Amino acid sequence: MYMSTKLSLRERSILTGLYLAKFDTEGLSFLGFSSFTEAFNVVGHALGVQPATVKNYRDEFDPVFPNDRKGWHKRPLREYCKVVLENFKELHLEEFASLIKEVVYEEGEVDSLTEEAISIEDGGQQTFAKRLLTGQAAEHFFKTRYKEIDLFSGFEIEDTTRLGCGFDFKLVSPKTYYGIEVKGIAESCGNVTMTSKEHSIASLLRERYFLFVVKNFKEEPFFEMYQDPLDGRLGFARIEQQVIQTCWTTRL
């Protein structure tokens, strides 16, 4: 078995299809997805491939496993898919799910460990699907679609997701720049939360700040964009929460 860090994008897509074919609905719920369509949409966009690509690889492996789908049963398994099958087919559910998290998350094992830690702290409510949906999948969706928006014509993109500057992307032109904060929700409508930092930066940039919301990953994703989201149209409500910070100490 070769290391997951050496897998190509195609192999990562194939591996996800193999997981979904082998573990079927049990594998879906284990990762926090409510349907195959949602899994195809979220994982596909998170990887930067078409959702149909993930579906096609699941269909490729369906004839190998005892599920209710026929898949691509009229043709032999392609050789490069056979290689992935032989290397990973013996993995059990938990081990395979951990591998999927590692190969789909852009930060690999670090993000996977972070997810597990957050899940423990919030009582298990933080799922792989939720983390992808609220971050990576929606962000990749934006990166593939922003050039279609006339207002952004001629702008260069800078990824600021790891900089903590109050927005995910900076679009730059010779005359100005825009800050773009990207959010994702599973349904066609739902709650969107801005952090204190995002709200502060939005109040400073005003018309140069955009909230880009990708909706309906459960069926067919689409986006809505709000320029100057604090202008009163969205009616944000301020919510204050008391945070209890836990630390661990020992005497040496």
Per-residue pLDDT reduced to its tens digit, 162-187: 899 999 999 999 999 999 999 999 99
Please write down the HEC assignment for all residues of the chain. Answer: CCCHHHCCHHHHHHHHHHHHHHHHHHHHHHHCCCCHHHHHHHHHHHHCCCHHHHHHHHHHHHHHCCCCCCCCCCCCCCHHHHHHHHHHCCCCHHHHHHHHHHHHCCCCHHHHHHHHHHHHHCCCCCCHHHHHHHHHHHHHHHHHHHHHCHHHCCCEEEECCCCCCCCCEEEECCCCEEEEEEEECCCCCCCCCCCHHHHHHHHHHHHHEEEEEEECCCCCCEEEEEECCCCCCCCCCCCCCCCCCCCCCCCC
Q: Specify the pLDDT at position 10.
A: 94
Residue 107: per-residue pLDDT: 59
Query: Which of 224, 206, 207 has its CA nearest to residue 215?
Result: 224
Mean pLDDT of 5-23: 92
**How high is the pLDDT of residue 114?**
53
Q: Give tens-digit pLDDT for 187-204.
A: 999 999 999 999 999 999
Mean pLDDT, all residues of the chain: 88
Model confidence at 134: pLDDT above 90: no
- The strand pairing partners of 177, in sequence order, are 172
pLDDT band at 36 (very low <50, low <70, confident <90, very high): very high
Separation between Cα atoms, residue 5 and residue 42, nearest integer Å: 21
Distance between CA 205 and CA 157 in Å, rounded?
17
Residue 235 has pLDDT above 90, yes or no: no
- Domains of the chain (ranges plus CATH)? 4-131 (no CATH), 149-227 (3.40.1350.10)
- What's the confidence (pLDDT) of residue 173? 96
Model pLDDT for residues 102-111, shown as the tens digit of each residue: 999 875 444 5
Report the pLDDT value the prediction gives residue 124, as an integer from 0 to 100: 44
pLDDT of residue 110: 43
pLDDT: which is higher, 68 or 124: 68
Q: What is the mean pLDDT of residues 222-238?
A: 93
pLDDT in tens, 85-105: 999 999 999 999 999 999 998
Lowest mean pLDDT among 29-43, 53-67, 99-113, 193-207: 99-113
Confidence (pLDDT) at 247: 79
Predicted pLDDT at 106: 73
pTM as predicted: 0.83
Look at residue 206 and tell me whether its pLDDT is greater than 50.
Answer: yes
